[in-house]
Structure 1
Amino acid sequence: MIKRALKHTFTLLNVDHVKLDSRWNYKNVISPYFRLYYIDGGEGEIWDVSAKIKLEPGFLYIIPSFTLCNLVCPSHLSQYFVQFFEESSDGISLFENNRSIFKVKATDIDILNFARLLEINPGRGINRSDNPRIYEKNVFYKEYQDLNNLQSMSTFTETHGILLQLVSRFLTQEIFKYKDGGHVPVKILNAISYIQLNLSRDLSVTSLAKRANLHTDYFSRLFHQHTGERPVKYIHEKRIERAQYLIVTTQMTFSEIATQTGFENVFYFSKIFKKITGMSPGNYKKQMDMIGF
């Protein structure tokens, strides 16, 4: 018998049907959760670093977590949206190698799924502002996490099932392609999982190679061959990705975040953060902070 376990789970944050206008115009948005849209009227645009994609009726769109994007509506836009967190047993995102915006033609079942998700989760809209800098705050996250805990087992299970169905629409071979590196050795897969689960610990290339029982230089070349990145750069990216999540969803100081993500001090943390994101941790926090509170 073939046994296959589902490693990824999704937790609802927001779901709603909204009418937007030209005020929906936000630049350099990067969130620790997924966004998924179904457009049923009007038009808009979303941009990532590689492409500008038109939002048009009859299509589904997904923006994976930690994907830098711009959100624009020139006139009016009617959309269903759902925002949700992802968890995985090995700490590796389903879209690890695919952090781009994807678009697929909606089906009747997709439309019914959005309507049903909204029906069984009333009052789960943002309800404050459509500006990510305002609603992306720890207190709001906790509020919706508490709502999830109050769901009946039936609603919780159905909600998760619908999210799985909607995400599955973007897992086709045509649009969901991992980097072609051939068969990835188990030792490299193990190293990737270890990195994801131990960001606060010593992750030197030497220690990772020792765990894999490989020579340091050979391990580094093998890692680069199958991930497209050198181990140090990959580790820095994963640590900063985690730091972005902590900045947005907690009240931890930068020093605490530096320690939590494995940096020896806050100065080195700030240097690597700016190198990867293009801005300092302070400026990133200001960008995400609530305006006027």
Structure 2
Amino acid sequence: MNHEFTLLQSDYTVCSKDWGMTDENALFYRMYYIYGGEAYLKKGDQKIRLEPGYFYILPLMKPYSLWHVQEDPLQVLWFHIQIKMDFYIDLGIVKIIENTPMYFVLQSLRSFMGNARYYTETEQLFDIFLTLLGEELPLQKTDHPVMKSVLDYIDSHISNHITVCDLAAYAGMERSYFSRKFKAAFQMSPNQYLYAARLNQAAIALAKGATVSEACRIADYADEKSFSRAFRSYMDIPPSIYRKSHIVQP
């Protein structure tokens, strides 16, 4: 694989009448390929119609709203992606030209949607798509070596009860100064990143067959009720249903 990412959820959907969100602050990237419908994105003072044939990368930890016209619902191939945080983008829009490699990869991805048995193939195809996307859309990466090493430290210690103070000590910085540097590099606070990293690890474990109780411990929550509430807020789906939708039955 050429890219460090986790495919948290993906599907092809004709959205329900009540679809939409207001002032969303997602801790993962929503990526949409639009097939049809009349839908809109509002970010700050910017209002954009989501056009068929375009691929959208929605911003991380920056509020935006989404809605559609109920009489003409959004038809979308969508991905929830957690990517190594030295990748970030504010808002990405790419026109997908028919009969090009990007177009054919997206059509192939759609053919695998909804079948957990092909999760590995879906990941491999999406890795190819990210490589092609990078040729069309400049992807920003932090050039701060200390902050990059902090991300590696979090990845290798996420199962421990690490705190912002631990991260600051690892970086050799005072806590408040470290928090400012981290936010400047990654557009989110270290606490927000830790929150997202723990729930991402729980989602990965659930997809591999862990119980909700086991995922709760991985995410470092004291009880399943608070974990389930946080997971549903983060992923828009309860952990028990997320687990069932990703386990391949024999």
Query: For the superposition of Structure 1 and Structure 2, which TM-score range results when normalised by the shorter chain?
Result: 0.5 to 0.7
Give the fraction of aligned pairs with identical amino acids, expressed as a percent.
17
Aligned residues of 1:35 and 1:64 also touching (Cα < 8 A): no
**In the TM superposition, what is the alpha-carbon distance from 1:166 to its structure 2 partner?**
3.3
Structure 2 unaligned runs (5+)? 246-250
Structure 2 residue identity aligned to 1:60: F
Name the residue aligned to 2:154: 195
Structure 2 residue identity aligned to 1:56: E
- Aligned counterparts of 2:171 and 2:184: Cα–Cα separation in 1: 16
- Aligned counterparts of 1:260 and 1:62: Cα–Cα separation in 2: 29
- Aligned counterparts of 1:232 and 1:215: Cα–Cα separation in 2: 15
Structure 2 residue identity aligned to 1:26: W
**In the TM superposition, what is the alpha-carbon distance from 1:243 to its structure 2 partner?**
3.5
- Aligned counterparts of 1:188 and 1:272: Cα–Cα separation in 2: 31
- In structure 2, do the counterparts of structure 1 residues 47 and 270 end up closer, same or farther at CA, with 3 Å as the change threshold? farther
Match 1:266 to one of 196, 199, 223? 223
Report the 3-state secondary structure (helix = DSSP H, G, I; strand = E; otherwise coil) of the residue aligned with 1:259: helix
Report the 3-state secondary structure (helix = DSSP H, G, I; strand = E; otherwise coil) of the residue aligned with 1:144: helix
**In the TM superposition, what is the alpha-carbon distance from 1:188 to its structure 2 partner?**
2.4
- In structure 2, do the counterparts of structure 1 residues 113 and 46 end up closer, same or farther at CA, with 3 Å as the change threshold? farther
- In structure 2, do the counterparts of structure 1 residues 228 and 57 end up closer, same or farther at CA, with 3 Å as the change threshold? closer
Q: Deviations over 1:85-139 (max 9, x none)?
A: 67x6xxx1465x43x6532344x4x6522553367x498254xxxxxxxx5xxxx
Alignment of 1:191-230 (within 5 A): 191-216=150-175, 218-227=177-186, 229-230=188-189
- In structure 2, do the counterparts of structure 1 residues 273 and 264 end up closer, same or farther at CA, with 3 Å as the change threshold? same
* CA radius of gyration, larger in: 1
Aligned residues of 2:182 and 2:190 also touching (Cα < 8 A): yes
**In the TM superposition, what is the alpha-carbon distance from 1:14 to its structure 2 partner?**
7.2
Matched, 1:144 2:144: no
Match 2:100 to one of 101, 107, 112? 112
Matched, 1:165 2:135: no
Q: Deviations over 1:46-92 (max 9, x none)?
A: 54776654222453323579999756464457968475867x6xxx1
* Length-normalised TM-score, structure 1: 0.54
- Aligned counterparts of 1:125 and 1:101: Cα–Cα separation in 2: 26
Match 1:234 to one of 167, 190, 193? 193
- In structure 2, do the counterparts of structure 1 residues 144 and 52 end up closer, same or farther at CA, with 3 Å as the change threshold? farther
- In structure 2, do the counterparts of structure 1 residues 290 and 203 end up closer, same or farther at CA, with 3 Å as the change threshold? closer
Structure 1 residue identity aligned to 2:93: K
**In the TM superposition, what is the alpha-carbon distance from 1:239 to its structure 2 partner?**
1.9
Name the residue aligned to 2:248: none
**In the TM superposition, what is the alpha-carbon distance from 1:250 to its structure 2 partner?**
4.9
**In the TM superposition, what is the alpha-carbon distance from 1:201 to its structure 2 partner?**
1.6
Q: Deviations over 1:257-289 (max 9, x none)?
A: 13213x16226x827964xx7849997447868
* Length-normalised TM-score, structure 2: 0.61
Give the CA RMSD over aligned residues: 5.2
Aligned residues of 2:86 and 2:148 also touching (Cα < 8 A): no
